[in-house]
Amino acid sequence: MRCLLLAFAFASLIAAQHDTPDRDGGKSKKNPLGDSAEVVDAGRTQYVNSCSGCHGPTAEGGRGPRLAGNGDVRGASDESLFNVIKNGVRGSDMPPSPLPEEKIWQMVAYVRTLNARAYQTRVPGDREAGRATYMGKAGCVKCHRIRGEGGLLGPDLSNIGASRSVAQLRESILKPSERPTEGYDGVTVVLKSGKRIQGIAKDNTNYTIQVMDAQGQLHLLNKAELSEIVFRKGSLMPGDYRDRLSRQELQDVLAYLSRQALRTDAANKEDKQ
């Protein structure tokens, strides 16, 4: 009986899936399992067991191409990803997979999350706790603004969930110096009077430099008045969040950031976790 019910549930899932046009130029099948957190988690586990040897533990690539932040993968339909994973790529190292279809669809859901914008993804974690860490312990708010609130030394994050993937956000937090953003070079200048100003170089010409300090105040300085200009190597953003935040705290911050999207339909999109 239970078996029959399950079979029925699966059949109706398949019936409910709709065909959507995509970049493959036609109508193609959507993932019948959807993209809930359970499906993505199951896909991640399966991926680690069957695929990480070639595509890397975080899908950053190895013997096979990177699957995270891969434009071809982002543009592919669910169905064509399914087919690549099921059938492999002839004449390459990419093997066909003997796994049951359900497991393959789970992996399709997981691979999708590696490429989707953060707000399109169901990100595990507690957003409220993430906001508290962002505002408090981690001090992110001192340098970043969200909807007008916060500091000015780092980029505005009000729309960050709509413009970056979760993997990119994670990388920005853990390795800020590897993802520099233009216009945020840290600099320290020393005036001939001995006064020091630290901040971000907003404009730098042969004769003048404009420095914004942590309070958001702009200083337009004549280079003739300065005794020293030292540009910072690497990001102003602290590089030790891996040590300062627990895994859970980091995950919560990611959950919070991933919902920062200015288009309200995106920001309000309920996730059923």
Based on the shown chain and the rule CB under 6 A, indicate whether residue 143 belongs to the binding site for ligand HEC.
yes
- Binding range to ligand HEC, per CB under 6 A, among 20-28, 30-38, 147-155, 217-225: 147-155
- Cβ-based nearer residue to ligand HEC, 175 or 219: 175
Phi-psi map region of 34: left, alpha, beta (phi>0 left; psi -120 to 50 alpha): left
- Rg, the chain, Cα only: 23
Shortest distance, position 273 Cβ to ligand HEC, whole Å: 20
Q: 159 to each of 95, 133, 143, 144, 180, how far by Cα in Å?
A: 39, 19, 16, 12, 18
- Per rule CB under 6 A, count of chain residues that contact ligand HEC: 49
Torsion of CA 147, 152, 119, 28, to 10 degrees: 120
Interface residue with ligand HEC, options 39, 140, 162, 212 (CB under 6 A): 140
Based on the shown chain and the rule CB under 6 A, indicate whether residue 68 belongs to the binding site for ligand HEC.
no
Based on the shown chain and the rule CB under 6 A, indicate whether residue 81 belongs to the binding site for ligand HEC.
yes
Based on the shown chain and the rule CB under 6 A, indicate whether residue 53 belongs to the binding site for ligand HEC.
yes
Q: What is the 3-state secondary structure (H, E, C) of 216-273?
A: CCEEEEEHHHEEEEEECCCCCCCCCHHHHCCHHHHHHHHHHHHCCCCCHHHHHCCCCC
Shortest distance, position 232 Cβ to ligand HEC, whole Å: 9
Closest CA to 103 of 7, 33, 193: 33
- Binding residues vs ligand HEC (CB under 6 A): 47, 50-51, 53-55, 63-65, 67, 70, 72-73, 81, 84-85, 89, 92-95, 97, 107, 111, 134, 138-140, 142-144, 153-155, 160, 164, 169, 172-173, 176, 180-181, 184, 235-238, 241, 253
